[in-house]
Structure 1
Amino acid sequence: MPASKPHRYFAGKFIIEPGQPEHSVITTCAYCGVGCGFKVEMKGNTVVRMVPWKDGKANDGHSCVKAVLPGVTRLHKDRITKPMIRAKISRSMARSGLG
């Protein structure tokens, strides 16, 4: 797929069509500690897509599925957005009071 053409991606029950990117930013993936490099293509302040950065030292232009489909986790209705803690394994998760 050409780098200039935005793609549609599946995010839960949604198909996201963000439009044509206006600019890009080089960054590091936030999912794990490997440090894979990505080019984030944006329209204004909205992420259009994330493309593995070909000059990334840790990933050599490749990525895992979590990184290229951020909407699947970011837009999920059950996404945890506040810190959680479990006092014992037998107990349910509860807000930690942090954040």
Structure 2
Amino acid sequence: MLQRELSAKKPNIDELKSHFKRMIVQSVVDASGKNTAFMQVLERNELNDSFCVAIDRELERELRQRLGVDEKNVSLYKLIMQAGDANILSPDAVDLAVRTPGVWP
């Protein structure tokens, strides 16, 4: 009986991952002003150990394209700041992005 109760209360990892990913996407929606391109970047990547790396790569690729930056020595941080200056990203999106570990120069 106790074992069944404990099993019933055990969180489902897939449900937790799904909920966590929805929270991340909602944060991006709130910060980006519902920018669908950035939401799609998050939605098409699976939540796993390489999620953040994949998001960084896609975000960098998207910003390089939108800003017309070909130089490889321009960091993701600088791209985010330039996107903010160009009104591609909202101030909230820039703030959210630069507070994310791994983005700082």
Fold shared, TM-score > 0.5 on shorter chain? no
User: RCO greater where, 1 or 2, for CA within 8 Å and sep 6 or more?
Assistant: 2
TM-score (norm 1): 0.23
TM-score (norm 2): 0.22
Of the two, which has the highest radius of gyration? 2
The structure carrying a bigger strand percent of its residues is 1
